[in-house]
Amino acid sequence: MDIRLDGISHSYGDTEVLRDINLSVPSGRIACMVGPSGCGKSTLLRFIGGLERPSAGQVLQVGNPPADCLNPLTYVFQHFALLPWRSVRGNISLVLEDHGIRGARAETIIADVLARTRLSDFADALPKQLSGGMKQRVAIARALAVNPAVMLMDEPLSALDSQTRELLMDDLVALWTRQPFTAVYVTHNLAEAVRLGHQIVVLSRRPGQIREVVEIDKPLEARGYADPDLEAVQKHLWDLMRDEARAADAELIHV
């Protein structure tokens, strides 16, 4: 299923947040959204997820979700949102229980997503026993359990330290390479965007407008740490964003 954003504009009261966003996210690709603080990235994600409606324009779902998809649009948040009293397995089974899936069918799905996220040995652990990186892997496993058409990822790695972030990026690349998924991925981190994005959508400061959509052809599995090609793209992104980021920063100080 592709996602198409068609002329999305939005204001909260007198504050214009987004202006005329047109974008297509093809199935099986990762679209990263970057832009200065407050430019409307998370708002756009909420529109795609159907949590809110834009003042103008529409979000179109083109094509069908996968046949056994339980929830077409599934979020992965920065702060994991795991239930502390439930084990890793219990956190994943919860989303299946919501869809009436229990017993052997649930066990099969849980075993599959735990294996894909390399968590099989931790099925009985509680969240408090896990590092931040492991917790986020559980949240990703939980998202995969509903076999979403599109994962909506809002700064999923930004609560993690830089080494853990590198490991999780490797994990996401391995996960996508084994079985491509579609994602809209909001991040502040340009290194993350060039490592994971097939397309990188650069938004201006508020009201967020698309400044440029940068496509990266290099396969995800061929993108490494400190890759000179990616560093060149990252520099281009920063050249696009620097002045706007500074202006957005100054604006927040005066709010």
Give how far the C-alpha of residue 169 lies from the chain's centroid of Cα atoms, to the nearest Å. Answer: 12
CB of 41 to ligand ATP, least distance (A): 4
Nearer residue to ligand ATP within complex by CB, 65 or 207: 207
Nearer residue to ligand ATP within complex by CB, 88 or 245: 245
CA neighbor of 50 nearest in space, from 27, 79, 75: 75
CB of 190 to ligand ATP, least distance (A): 13
CB of 155 to ligand ATP, least distance (A): 7
Task: State the helix-helix crossing angle for 162-178 and 132-145, rounded to 10 degrees.
Answer: 20
Q: Transcribe 92-157 into DSSP letters.
A: HHHHHHTTT--HHHHHHHHHHHHHHTT-GGGTT--GGGS-HHHHHHHHHHHHHHT--SEEEEESTT
Degrees, nearest 5: CA angle 16-60-15: 5
Q: Transcribe 165-181 into DSSP letters.
A: HHHHHHHHHHHHHHS--
CB of 30 to ligand ATP, least distance (A): 18
CB of 211 to ligand ATP, least distance (A): 14
Nearer residue to ligand ATP within complex by CB, 8 or 173: 8
Nearer residue to ligand ATP within complex by CB, 12 or 85: 12
Nearer residue to ligand ATP within complex by CB, 37 or 55: 37
Residues of the shown chain interacting with ligand ATP in the complex, contacts defined by CB under 6 A: 12, 17, 35, 37-43, 206
